[in-house]
């Protein structure tokens, strides 16, 4: 009886490690996912809407910095066309950092720190440089990684950020 209990204890102790090992993607997968962000940066800086849209699945969900939710490529393309013909038509995008965490061999959560310069206010005056972060869900479909969901968030300087309880927030990662 003790040996069976010990065997079960070892099995359950090893289970999280086994699950994590199965969830990991290959080095080639990580490179392909990072490549999406390199392609995004290039497409943004060339104001190539079609190239940006090709990085997502046709039914992807996109949430922009203003909190607008676009379901599918047509809605998101229309939003990008408006942005790139107006306030961001002179902007320059820089991907600062990409972190990949696999949920399974074909699904990953990707965090992307980015910065932009050259944006304009509605009156045409220059906006200060912007920093933000994407939280994306990416999936390997037909051997190719694509964005299936993307949430953009502006990074607010800690001294101006207020949390729901009224305290000041921070924009740093915790727990590393």
Q: For the domain that residue 114 is a member of, what is the CATH number?
A: 3.10.450.50
pLDDT at 105 over 90: yes
Q: In this structure, are residues 40 and 62 in contact, taking their beta carbons and an 8 Å threshold? A: no
Q: DSSP letter at 72?
A: S
How many structural domains comprise the chain?
A: 1
CA distance 137 to 127: 29
Name the average pLDDT for the chain: 85
Q: In this structure, are residues 153 and 133 in contact, taking their beta carbons and an 8 Å threshold? A: yes
Q: Is residue 123 part of a domain?
A: yes
Q: What is the pTM of this model?
A: 0.78
The per-residue pLDDT for range 130-157, each reduced to its tens digit, is 999 999 999 999 999 999 999 999 998 7
Of 1-5, 8-12, 73-77, highest mean pLDDT: 73-77
Cα 47 to chain centroid distance, Å, stands at 19
Q: Is residue 129 part of a domain?
A: yes
CA distance 85 to 120: 11
Q: DSSP letter at 68?
A: -
CA distance 57 to 13: 38
Query: Domain containing 58: what range?
Result: 23-154
Q: Is residue 5 part of a domain?
A: no
Q: Is residue 47 part of a domain?
A: yes
List CB contacts of 116: < 8 A, sequence separation 6 or more: 88, 91, 92, 93, 94, 129, 130, 132
The per-residue pLDDT for range 110-130, each reduced to its tens digit, is 999 999 999 999 899 999 999
Q: Is residue 164 part of a domain?
A: no
Which helix (H) or strand (E) segment holds residue 18: the answer is: helix 2-23
Q: Is residue 92 part of a domain?
A: yes
Q: Is residue 161 part of a domain?
A: no
Q: Is residue 73 part of a domain?
A: yes
List CB contacts of 82: < 8 A, sequence separation 6 or more: none
């Amino acid at each position: 009886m003790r040996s069976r209990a010990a065997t079960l204890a070892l099995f359950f102790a090893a289970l999280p490690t086994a699950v994590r090992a199965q969830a990991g993607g290959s080095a080639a997968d990580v490179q392909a996912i990072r490549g999406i962000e390199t392609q995004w940066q290039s497409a943004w800086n060339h104001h190539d809407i079609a190239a940006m849209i090709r990085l997502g699945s046709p039914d992807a969900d996109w949430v922009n910095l203003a909190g607008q939710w676009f379901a599918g490529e047509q809605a998101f393309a229309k939003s990008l066309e408006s942005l790139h013909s107006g306030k961001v038509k002179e902007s320059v995008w820089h991907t600062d950092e990409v972190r990949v965490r696999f949920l399974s061999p074909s699904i990953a959560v990707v965090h992307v720190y980015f910065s932009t310069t050259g944006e304009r206010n509605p009156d045409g005056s220059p906006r200060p440089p912007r920093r933000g972060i994407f939280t994306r869900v990416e999936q390997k479909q037909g051997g190719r990684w694509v964005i299936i969901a993307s949430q953009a968030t502006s990074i607010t300087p800690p001294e101006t950020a207020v949390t729901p309880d009224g305290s000041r927030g921070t924009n740093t990662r915790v727990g590393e």
